[in-house]
Structure 1
Amino acid sequence: MKNIFVVFLSWIFTISPFTVQAQNLENAVDELILRDFNDKNGPGGVFMIAHHGTPVYQKAFGKANLERGDDLSVDDVFQLGSMTKQFTAVAILMLEQQSKLSVGDPVSKYIPDYPNGNKITIHHLLTHTSGIKDFTKMKSLADIAQKDMTPKMMVDFFKNEPVDFVPGEKFDYNNSGYVLLGYLIELVSGERYEEYIRKHIFDKVGMTRSYYASDRKVIKGRAYGYHKKESGYVNKTVISFSVPFSSGSLMSTLSDMLKWQNALNKNLLLDTAETTKAFSRYKLNNGEEFNYGYGWHIRDINKVPTREHGGSIFGFKTMAVYIPGEDIYVIGLSNCDCNSPTKVTGDIAALAVKFLGSVKG
């Protein structure tokens, strides 16, 4: 009996620091999230921390549907907004891996009549250094926002606009570049962008609850999007997802996004050389380095290197941070564009490094 008691005490003291650590992390993360996502009866958000590919924290805050009063679930489907750009960039690199294109190719190789297309490369589009006009800044955007647009129609919408600078001169975040990349994916692969992403990424990775966005399709577990006005919450503005297209029209869940991150880590989609291209910093024409790779911001939190990207589309805001040195992935998805998860996700990532960085899994 005495020996059993000794073993029991040994077991308690072996696991308790980690148990306490997990509880402390959970409490600290809850406190951070509730600082901004504190309306139990309004739209909210879902958050995850994963370490070594496995969730160590997942929680939902707020409502998925205000009219029905349904609570958000960690399994709900959210619009990703510009986190879509990760998938578009990887699709381009997959095509390069298959020798179907090169990131050094000029746009004119695929679209001969594109203005200045002989000087704008796929690399410029991927890194937001092309100088072409961002269609989201065009006053005429309202004229097409609810129209069904083909990729060619979208490209034609902005291609003749005056450029903002010569290719490679500046980094200036640009949605038009990623719409153009989606069109190139279609031209090179012979498949519609939506089909290419589903077949070659979602299906291959096992992302069974990820979609090209639709307001008409019945999607089980959909989180509904909202704006906040002086009078209260209202349903999000309706747009045609053919407009943001490959710059912002995908939907997913926390668990599917973790599958995506794990697939990138395991080189399931890209080989080492192409993966390195995605996560490298690049330089402008003058030699100045900027903090963007192909579809990801390459930054740091407290001098710890990170790969980050967020998204914003009517009714939704999103943010994800990956810390490669610790294999920590933090993601937040919000179903009101009044609640940005950007800062809180970064703060959670910093906490996760503090609590999990020394734990070897």
Structure 2
Amino acid sequence: MLFFFSSSLIFAQTLEKRIDDVILKEFSDAKAPGGVFQVTQKGKVLYQKAFGKANLELDANLHADYVFEIGSMTKQFTAIATLMLEQQGKLSVNDPISKYIKDFPNGDKITIHHLLTHTSGIKDFTKMKSITTIAQKEMKPEMMVDFFKNEPVDFAPGEKFDYNNSGYVVLGHLIELISGDSYENFIQKNIFDKAGMNHSYYASDRKIVLKRASGYHKKESGYVNKTLISFSVPFSSGSLMSTLEDMLKWQNALNKNILLNSQETEKAFQKYRLNNGEEFTYGYGWHLKDINGVASREHGGSIFGFKSMGVYIPSEDLYVVGFSNCDCHSPTETVRNMTKLALENINRN
């Protein structure tokens, strides 16, 4: 019994040290913007640490409970919100978007499913040169949709998978049209409140957000404050904020079917096929990959001043999340490598 306890303690200490080493490869400067990281299994925190500064001007350290902009991890919430409306009988993922937006070009051939899976062929607004003309403007959802809807399409719906922010902006617009509520309110009432995510928000640079991490860019001359953006532009494709603890609550709410029944939830986590029958590795709001041969659900995010990454291993109920408050540091490979170490630790024990 004593030997078992001692061995477990040594393994735990070894895991912590090994994870520290992985993180410090990218986040080694204690005086620079940094990141926060967490590993949980079956809801229990195995690792949680913060590295670097939350605010350079105040010389304030980061802490693990600070609030970060999560960028495209927002797409998970938009996808689940869409499935909630389907569960309520208010839409079908097979509906053409012309059912709700009458004048959308080719809207009778583009379905909600195409938007969710990045297979619509709609032009991604983040790749349009004219994006700079609206980046700091307050845009209504229909204005955002009008900004890109008449651009030439990249391919016919269902022909290929091509990661696309525009599709998720259209989904946010549909959520508002169909629910009769704003996207921000819908997410707050139907997801954040139900999951107990008390420190998650639709982003704003004007609202006072307790324990908000400041965002940074890195230039040749050093670090600078992040470029301001109107969050109405990324909208439902990338404008949410959260914490490590709240993201665990999010994962637990999905697992326990607090937000959706199991049949509807499963739609988010299955692989789909293109028109030619070829399978691709994206569900609704998650990349479906594997790490060391073990199935994973993954998604990262990037927005001015911030980057994020989350990996979930369903077979082990293992969730690894990392946030960075400088878009010069990507937590993607760090989080994936942390996941590999955690899996090795689980197999060893």
CA deviation vs aligned residue, 1:247-276 (integer Å, no higher than 9, x gap) = 000000000000000111111111111111
4+ residue runs over 3 A deviation: none
Whole-angstrom CA distance in 1 between matches of 2:313 and 2:186: 28
1:67 aligns with 2:57: yes
Give 3-state SS (helix, strand or coil) of 1:352's partner: helix
Whole-angstrom CA distance in 2 between matches of 1:41 and 1:14: 40
Whole-angstrom CA distance in 1 between matches of 2:90 and 2:11: 49
Give 3-state SS (helix, strand or coil) of 1:311's partner: strand
What residue identity is the alignment partner of 1:160? N
How far the C-alpha of 1:169 sits from its partner, in A, is 0.2
**Corresponding residue pairs, total:** 349
Q: 1:44 aligns with which of 13, 34, 39?
A: 34
Q: 2:99 aligns with which of 92, 109, 116?
A: 109
Q: 1:182 aligns with which of 155, 172, 197?
A: 172
Whole-angstrom CA distance in 2 between matches of 1:179 and 1:290: 22
Counterpart of 2:134 in structure 1 is 144
Q: 2:292 aligns with which of 287, 291, 302?
A: 302
1:99 aligns with 2:92: no
CA RMSD of aligned residues (A): 0.7
CA deviation vs aligned residue, 1:293-351 (integer Å, no higher than 9, x gap) = 00000000111000000000000000000000111000000000000000010000011
TM-score by length of 1: 0.96
1:78 aligns with 2:59: no
Q: How does 1:126-275 map to 2 (within 5 A)?
A: 126-275=116-265
Q: 1:344 aligns with which of 334, 338, 341?
A: 334
How far the C-alpha of 1:358 sits from its partner, in A, is 5.7
What residue identity is the alignment partner of 1:138? M
How far the C-alpha of 1:54 sits from its partner, in A, is 1.5
Whole-angstrom CA distance in 1 between matches of 2:222 and 2:119: 39
Give 3-state SS (helix, strand or coil) of 1:21's partner: helix
How far the C-alpha of 1:18 sits from its partner, in A, is 1.1
Q: 1:316 aligns with which of 299, 306, 322?
A: 306
Whole-angstrom CA distance in 1 between matches of 2:330 and 2:318: 21
Whole-angstrom CA distance in 2 between matches of 1:342 and 1:152: 32
Judge conservation of contact 1:326–1:357 (CA < 8 Å) in 2.
no
TM-score by length of 2: 0.99
Q: 2:8 aligns with which of 18, 21, 26?
A: 18
How far the C-alpha of 1:357 sits from its partner, in A, is 3.9
What residue identity is the alignment partner of 1:212? Y
Whole-angstrom CA distance in 2 between matches of 1:152 and 1:120: 17
Give 3-state SS (helix, strand or coil) of 1:325's partner: helix
Give 3-state SS (helix, strand or coil) of 1:18's partner: helix
What residue identity is the alignment partner of 1:87? F
What residue identity is the alignment partner of 2:204? S
Whole-angstrom CA distance in 2 between matches of 1:207 and 1:358: 33
Unaligned runs of 5+ in 1: 1-9
Give 3-state SS (helix, strand or coil) of 2:241's partner: strand
Whole-angstrom CA distance in 1 between matches of 2:267 and 2:300: 20
Counterpart of 1:7 in structure 2 is none
Whole-angstrom CA distance in 2 between matches of 1:24 and 1:222: 32
Whole-angstrom CA distance in 2 between matches of 1:267 and 1:352: 25
Counterpart of 1:89 in structure 2 is 79
